[in-house]
Amino acid sequence: MNIIYKFNVGRDVNMHINIYAKLNLLYEFGGAAGIQMANNQRDMVSLDQNYGDTWIEYGISTDIRFSDGRCVYFDIAEGTGGGEFGQHWQWNAGVRWIF
């Protein structure tokens, strides 16, 4: 289970283009996992990890709306920070249909 607080602020460039900045705070309550492995000689290896953590996501995005209900979006730059495991930067793109 996790909690996400999202804050987005943007500006319409024109009727079809919106550019926005986003800042998301995420908190994972659970996420504990464990595994035990053995080989043919019965040598055991155990690995336990707790993925509960708090981190932020930040980025700049844009979406382009078309008159027929389609939208193309781009995460121009998105990164994470503050958690035990992070992702420095990523880019995303997609298409949405509204009907």
Render pLDDT for 31-48 as a digit per residue (tens, 0 to 9).
678 899 998 888 999 988
Tell me the pLDDT tens digit for each residue of 38-90.
988 889 999 887 777 788 889 999 999 988 789 999 988 888 887 776 677 88
Start-to-end CA distance of the chain, whole Å, equals: 31
The pTM (predicted TM-score) of the whole model is 0.63
Report whether pLDDT(1) > 90.
Answer: no
Cα distances (angstroms) measured from residue 52 to each of 29, 32, 44, 58: 5, 7, 26, 20
Choose among 32, 90, 34: nearest CA to 57: 90
Check if the beta carbon of residue 6 is closer than 8 Å to that of residue 22.
yes
Alpha-carbon radius of gyration of the chain: 20
